[in-house]
Structure 1
Amino acid sequence: MRRSPPTLFGMPAHLQEHPMIQSTNEGLDLVIVGGGIGGIICLKYARDAGLNALLLERGARIGGLWRDLPSWQDIQFRKEDWTLGNLPLAGEDQPSILSNIEAWVERFELSPYICLNESVTSARPCEQGWRLTTDKATHEAKWLIAATGGHNRPIVPQVRRVDSLITEYHSSALRDPEELRDKRVTVVGGGASAYDLLDLCFAHGARSVVWIFRSTKWMRPTRRGKHLGIDMRVLARYQMLCLPASMVHRLSNKDLKARYAKAGINEIMPEGDFDIRRDQLIPGRPGMLMNFASIERHQGEVRTLRGRTIEMSNGEGLETDLLLWGTGYGVDLGFLGLEALNKARNLNEIGSRCYSGFLSADAPNLFLLAPGVLDTNTSTPWAYAHVAKSIMSHIGGRPVFVKPPCEAFTNHFDLIKLLAPKDRENYPLGIWYLKYLWLALCHPWKRPMPIP
């Protein structure tokens, strides 16, 4: 397929000249929906495999969720664990992550294979594989990768609002944290987003902080910087040394419970033990932990917002100026028209419907990228790169993704142990294990992992 070259990150020239074009783009091997880090990495490996591939992105520029997030948002771990090879990454913050995604496009010359401002309205199986309809054109391809992410629908609980005077923001919509200064702030949620918002309250001088949660997710309490709170390379060593999962669980829970006790936060310890097969371990937020005693905590739900009062389900009333919803995200795969996916409540349920965590059991020739990576304990670019490489092997005729669906996470280097036995093209027998054992034990901590 010959395509007119686009301007950098811009719409392809033929679509710029004919914005209402309704042509059918046939003969593609692969269409990738979503221009975030996962979609871009998949496009890179599709081109490496010689596939006729096209990426469709609904926005005016690539970046996905990281294009839309406020600049204070950041990743959960060190920049050395996000980036691969020598692709530039200045820091862990949103502008740096966005620049890193753009660097993938520049380094591997992917722009000619990206269509921007093309929102996919439907994707349906057809005789050729898949037919995708956008607001500009239709495209047919044998294979489809849904790389629209797992955090593409901010969740704000449906509550009654009666003459509410309270300013509200979801964590993805708080553009300027200085709005918190000298305000009575209430944070709702019990996971990573809520922990970030609590940290922001103290960093930006909120007058008072109230925290409402139904339950909490596991964190690793630490007084170190957030990005140093979790060292995934320790997990990699455990995995490549074949430490039994039961021993990893015992070590993890002993460490976590001791840290909760030392930090004086036993009252927010989650119910049940931490289980790496189903729980993501969140790094502790130093500001939240150092100021924990000054946080007014309430376990329950918000029922009504009335004037400047939050009315809770237990009848309590809390006065506030600013309400921050740290209630996370949902996933929207509605464009696929698959009822089972639309009914799924979270990424875990979607992943439990995928062979080897990524190949959909609900439709032919469909890969779902996010469920097997997001919310696990791994670096997303590192995992996406390995999965993308094996996806191209599968498309090329080697059945890689054949393990029956299951509900357990596949974390970090265990992902390699899942892919390698079936993907001998990328993981030669015996050699692959020695390679990743060396990376786990000997690769310098301050250097990014190599591009697979």
Structure 2
Amino acid sequence: MKCSIARSGDSESEWPEAAVQHSVAGIESEGHCAYPTSMTTHSDLDLVIVGGGIGGVICLKYAKDAGLKTVLLERRERIGGLWRDLPSWQDIQFRKEDWTLGNVPVSEERQPGILRNIEAWVERFDLVPQIVLNAPVTSAQSYEGGWQVATDGALYRSRWLIAATGGHNRPVVPQVKRNDSSITEYHSFELRNPEELKGKRVTVVGGGASAYDLLDLCFTYEASSIAWVYRSIKWMRPTRQVKYLGTDIRLLAKYQMLGLSTSAMNRRINEDLRARYKKAGITEIMPEGDFDIRRDQLIPGRPGMIRGFRSIERHRSEVQSVHGKTIRLSNGEEISSDLLLWGTGYAMELGYLGLDSLTKARRLNEISARCYSVFRSSDAPNLFLLAPGVLETNTSTPWAYAHVARSIMSHIAGTSVFVDPPVQDLTNHYDLVKMLALHDRQNYPVGLWYLKYLWLAMFHPKARPMPIP
């Protein structure tokens, strides 16, 4: 079984359904896109939201609260975004109490529970009337005063556009040579049935969260042998506890609201991480250089991977080619394998916006570094890019999306919130609140907002979800 997913370096390749980007509708005419006259046109909208995942749905909730005339366009037949396409074993990296906001329920940390939670937002706030399903966006063009967004059968004109198509919408596998390969390959996105790992010789490629998950699955489902290929490794917080307890977002919130400096937090975190790596006996894979919360995500350790670490055959290299049952690495080593699992992550595809600077970007930080106050694009007017400033940070995505969405609606209403120059640093958890509070006085009254969030950081019960902003 071959992967049918985007491979870096390919000019054209098949993507899985969750990553499909449709070609531009219409024809080019004198530098402008001419749309078919038979298309239904929806004009005078305040806002179009592209993408029906958790970020897009939360934005729609706040747009409705603000009384904005809004449409959310979702390419699938149901909302859910990437979480609808992920296998059931995929999960969040922290406690479900930190994902949940208010009384919007979440039953578990794995994919089925998260998908039901996204659907619960739609039901709880009666968002169905403003959602258009089966509406893949074929192109979006800015013009004086707003945006034109085209789907296969309709054209939407609005003053503002929020791109909420996710930061992980294009699974990526490096381009390698294949010659009569008989090795089954899956990206972590495609591994639907982990039972296939049982009794197999498995090779995992990658040095981040996806690879850690795949290594953990190899032990859970009793692979006969495990080889791990990585070029570099990201920091994690080793733990033998359940994965969801591996990081503590609420502790980070306390540090931030008490005014602990970034250098002081980094010092504490590095001391803790190095002690944990030593205690777990995995100092061989401790990343080079210090952890820096301004640029690094604190990934929770996977207990199965840590317990079985000594049985993993490790190769610091890259996959060069696959022939028969043999994987050849760039350093000349060879691995005999039955299954090749790519934990090589995702890229962000924003080609439908027609902006070269965004189309060429491959990493989230490259995009967020081109946005005023992390979220408002500097490459086009009246455009917000939601995911790059939230994913891969040290925070709960619903928490971050809710605060950002609320302030976006303030900006649309006339308050200049997203005006600070682009930055390279991650905006982590309560640092995000502090950034928004500088300009969004409607939602963060002077003085009072700080007391509110200080109380939440210090005294809100850990077993209870945080309130909806």
Residue identity in the other structure for 1:445 = K
- Secondary structure of 1:156's counterpart equals strand
Cα distance between partner residues in 2 of 1:420 and 1:104: 25
Match of 1:110 in 2: 127
Contact 1:167 1:322 in 2 (8 A): yes
CA–CA separation in structure 2 for the residues paired with 1:21 and 1:284: 54
1:130 pairs, out of 112, 123, 147, with 147
Alignment of 1:145-184 (within 5 A): 145-184=162-201
Q: Tell me the equivalent position of 2:257.
A: 240
Residues 306-350 of structure 1 deviation map (CA, whole Å, 9 limit, x = unaligned): 000000001111000000000000000000011111121200010
Aligned counterpart for 1:428 among listed residues 439, 445, 448 = 445
Gaps of 5+ in 2: 1-36
Q: Which one of the candidate residues 23, 48, 68 is aligned to 2:40?
A: 23
State how far apart, in whole Å, the 2-side matches of 1:106 and 1:448 are: 19
CA distance in 2, matches of 1:138, 1:413: 38
Distance 1:322 1:315 in 2: 20
Secondary structure of 1:435 counterpart: helix
SS of 2:174's equivalent in the other structure is coil
Q: State whether structure 2 residue 354 is matched by structure 1 residue 337.
A: yes
Structure 2 match to 1:288: 305
% identity of equivalent residues = 70
- Tell me the alpha carbon deviations over residues 2-22 of structure 1, each in whole angstroms, 9 at most, x when there is no partner: xxxxxxxxxxxxxxxxxx972
- 2:123 counterpart of 1:77: no
Alignment check: 8 A CA contact 1:128 1:140 kept: no
Aligned residue pairs total 433
2:159 is equivalent to residue 142 of structure 1: yes
Of 37, 40, 57, the residue aligned with 2:74 is: 57
Aligned counterpart in structure 1 of residue 138 of structure 2, from 105, 121, 133: 121
**2:430 aligned to which of 405, 409, 413:** 413
Q: Which moved more, 1:73-82 or 1:20-29?
A: 20-29
Per-residue Cα deviation, 1:91-111 (whole angstroms, up to 9, x for no partner): 100000000000000000000
8 Å contact from structure 1 (residues 190, 217) kept in 2: yes
1:42 aligns with one of 42, 50, 59: 59
Normalised to the residue count of structure 1, the TM-score between the two structures is: 0.95
Amino acid aligned to 1:292: F
Query: Counterpart of 1:437?
Result: 454
Query: Structure 2: which amino acid aligns with 1:430?
Result: G
Q: SS of 1:145's equivalent?
A: strand
Cα RMSD (Å): 0.8
Report the counterpart of residue 97 of structure 1 in structure 2. 114
SS of equivalent to 1:384: helix
1:330-369 equivalences in 2 (<5 Å): 330-369=347-386
The one-letter code sitting in structure 1 at the alignment partner of 2:53 is G
CA contact (8 A) 1:35 1:64 kept: yes
- The equivalent of 1:227 in structure 2 is 244
Aligned mates of 1:124, 1:188 — CA distance in 2: 38
| DSSP 3-state at the match of 1:405 | coil
Partner of 2:395: 378
1:128 deviation in Å? 3.7
**Please, which runs of 5 or more residues in structure 1 have no aligned partner?**
1-19
Q: Secondary structure at the match of 1:155?
A: strand
Q: TM-score, normalized by length of structure 2?
A: 0.92
1:402 matches 2:422: no
Task: Please name the residue that 2:17 is paired with.
Answer: none
> CA contact under 8 A between 1:37 and 1:63: conserved in structure 2?
yes
Runs of 4+ in structure 1 deviating by more than 3 angstroms, as ranges, are none
Counterpart residue type for residue 132 of structure 1: V
2: CA distance, partners of 1:344 / 1:89? 33
Q: How does 1:229-308 map to 2 (within 5 A)?
A: 229-308=246-325
User: Whole-Å Cα distance in 2 between the matches of residues 307 and 211 of structure 1?
Assistant: 19
Q: Equivalent residue for 1:5?
A: none
Mapped to 2, the partners of 1:168 and 1:342 lie a distance apart of: 28
CA distance in 2, matches of 1:255, 1:107: 41
Alignment of 1:213 onto 2:230: yes
